Amino acid sequence: MAVRIDGKAVSARVKADVKKEIEQLKSRGIEAGLAVVIVGDNPASRVYVNNKKKACSEVGITSYEYALPQDTTEEELLSLVEKLNNDSRVNGILVQLPLPEQIDEHAVINTIVPEKDVDAFHPENVGHIMIGDYKFLPCTPAGVMELIAETGIDPCGKSCVVIGRSNIVGKPMAMLLLHKNGTVTVCHSRTKDLKEICANADILVSAVGKANFVTADMVKQGAVVIDVGMNRNEEGKLCGDVCYDECEKKAGYITPVPGGVGPMTIAMLMKNTLTAVKAANGITD
């Protein structure tokens, strides 16, 4: 039976460390600010934004919410981003995705200045991740790496399989595992022999967004299984990509949904915002 990796507990430790540093900065007269922009009334996006604001409150970061109507134009949104780029109170800018269809997400991401891009989506920050000299890491992959570290298992030399090749999770996830000297395979919808590839993985990360996609026959005995999926099953219940009940019987370590990767994503956002504050004030420790 697998050891359950408690994302809530790990994220609480990360946030406690961030809070401590934020308090030290405040004692020096330095305030931290995160601007969160939401366009439209997507219920899931609203939940995410509220959770991010709550986390900011917990660690002592001032959050500035900008809630824009569904019919906001791309020009209007880009104008707001430019304003936030030049606002000294704002250390990090987060534009909640997805955006309405009239707005080009790439244009928005490219407009956020790299030093305030706490999601690490800007091409400049992506390039830094590729070559390994990054300031920011994408929040979800960074959170996954913290959870893997929690197991005490070093990716070095291990067979690591990532299911999914999105720019937000799959691709940067592969790079972070590679930076830790893992031997990485990225699987996707065109992959042949997917089941066999996954079944040989020492570390398996699923970020495909399909409920119960990963079954026990895709899991190696004793593997670390990280479930990034956030889905609804046929009964409308929140679930991940992994068939938890059957896979936990084979895995060595496994993350639950909810309570696994989700809390880590927000904790790492707080950590990135702290990094941005320190960089803006020339603090290198």
Catalytic positions are: 52, 96, 119
Query: Looking at this protein, which amino acid is placed at residue 112?
Result: I
**What architecture is the 29-125 domain classified under in CATH?**
3-Layer(aba) Sandwich (3.40)
Let me know if the fold of 29-125 is the same as that of 139-262: yes
| Interaxial angle between packed helices 7-26 and 43-59, expressed in degrees from 0 to 180 and rounded to the nearest 10 | 50
Give the model's pLDDT for residue 67.
Answer: 97
How far apart (Å, rounded) are the C-alpha atoms in residues 195 and 76? 46
Domain 139-262 indexed as CATH 3.20.20.140 = no
Strand residue runs (E) in the chain: 3-4, 33-39, 62-68, 92-95, 159-163, 183-187, 203-206, 224-227, 231-232, 238-239, 253-254
pLDDT of residue 249: 97
- Rounded distance between C-alpha atoms, residue 247 and residue 249, angstroms: 5
b vs e for 36-46, b when ≥16 Cβ sit within 10 Å of the residue's Cβ? bbbbbebeebe
Query: What tokens appear for 183 in the block?
Result: 């031997």
Q: How high is the pLDDT of residue 14? A: 98
**Residues 6+ away with beta carbon under 8 Å from 201:** 159, 160, 161, 185, 220, 223
For the chain, count helices (H), then strands (E): 10, 11
C-alpha distances in angstroms, 55 versus 29, 100, 175, 264, 265? 21, 26, 27, 11, 11
Strand order in the sheet with 224-227: 3-4, 253-254, 224-227, 203-206, 159-163, 183-187
Question: What is the distance, to the nearest Å, from the Cα of residue 110 to the centroid of all Cα atoms in its chain?
Answer: 19
* Per-residue confidence (pLDDT) for residue 44, from 0 to 100: 87
Name the token pair of 257.
Answer: 């949904």
How confident is the prediction along the chain (285 residues), in pLDDT tens digits per residue?
999 999 999 999 999 999 999 999 999 999 999 999 999 988 989 999 999 999 999 999 999 999 999 999 999 999 999 999 999 999 999 999 999 999 999 999 999 999 999 999 999 999 999 999 999 999 999 999 999 999 999 999 999 999 999 999 999 999 999 999 999 999 999 999 999 999 999 999 999 999 999 999 999 999 999 999 999 888 888 899 999 999 999 999 999 999 999 999 999 999 999 999 999 999 987
Residue 86 one-letter amino acid: N
Quote the pLDDT of residue 101.
96
pLDDT of res. 235: 84
**Half-sphere exposure (Cβ direction) of 135: Cα atoms closer than 13 Å:** 23
Domain limits, the chain: 29-125, 139-262
Closest CA to 100 of 116, 125, 77, 129: 77
